[in-house]
């Protein structure tokens, strides 16, 4: 077996174990918290990038985990990140969506799980940080020229180019491609 095949098998094992851990924490929540009942379990994906370790989306029925951070910090992920995200689903279910993300109910769930109650992780994110190329777009109004980011440019384009008004001359900034 080649080294790359071993690494792939190991990664697959970690992902399978992470899914098992998600089920474990949901099962534990059903045992410990009588008010918690869910007819479905969220889809677990590993496509989260950047500095975020995990996210829980009730509306999408999805629990997203950062695969790079999972691989690099697996033991801590099992004890902290996975229960953290599951606790968001549990909190949403027992408060019917009225609880705060990291509020009293969420903290209560984390304590029942026997986990550390904190919002943020302290993982080294060097390998998972995504570098982005910032492209700027030139906009001109009556008094000056400005460079907008892709996000501002797209917002302006969606509105027919009339989205940002200059504070000085009160004219709309118009996109002018550089030659």
Closest CA to 115 of 94, 88, 84, 142: 84
Total residues belonging to the chain: 179
> Which entry of 67, 85, 105, 136 is annotated as an active-site residue?
85
Output DSSP code: residue 80: I
CB contact set of 52 (below 8 Å; sequence gap of 6+) = 66
Does the active-site annotation cover 85?
Answer: yes
Residue 94 CB coordination number (10 Å):
20
Cα separation of 121 and 62, whole Å? 20
Catalytic residues: 85
């Amino acid at each position: 077996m080649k080294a790359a095949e071993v690494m792939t098998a190991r990664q697959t094992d970690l992902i399978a174990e992470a899914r098992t851990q998600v089920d474990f924490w949901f099962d534990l929540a059903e045992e410990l918290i009588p008010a918690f009942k869910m007819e479905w379990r969220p889809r677990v994906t590993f496509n989260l990038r950047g500095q975020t370790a995990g996210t829980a989306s009730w509306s999408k029925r999805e629990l997203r985990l950062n695969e790079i951070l999972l691989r690099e910090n697996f033991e801590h992920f099992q004890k902290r990140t996975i229960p953290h995200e599951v606790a968001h689903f549990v909190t949403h279910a027992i408060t019917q969506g009225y609880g705060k993300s990291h509020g009293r109910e969420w903290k209560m769930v984390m304590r029942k799980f026997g986990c550390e109650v904190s919002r943020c992780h302290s993982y080294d994110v060097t390998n998972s940080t995504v570098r982005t190329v910032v492209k700027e777009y030139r906009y001109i109004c009556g008094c000056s020229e400005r460079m907008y980011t892709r996000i501002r440019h797209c917002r302006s384009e969606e509105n027919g180019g009339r989205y940002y008004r200059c504070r000085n001359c009160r004219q709309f900034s118009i996109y002018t491609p550089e030659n």
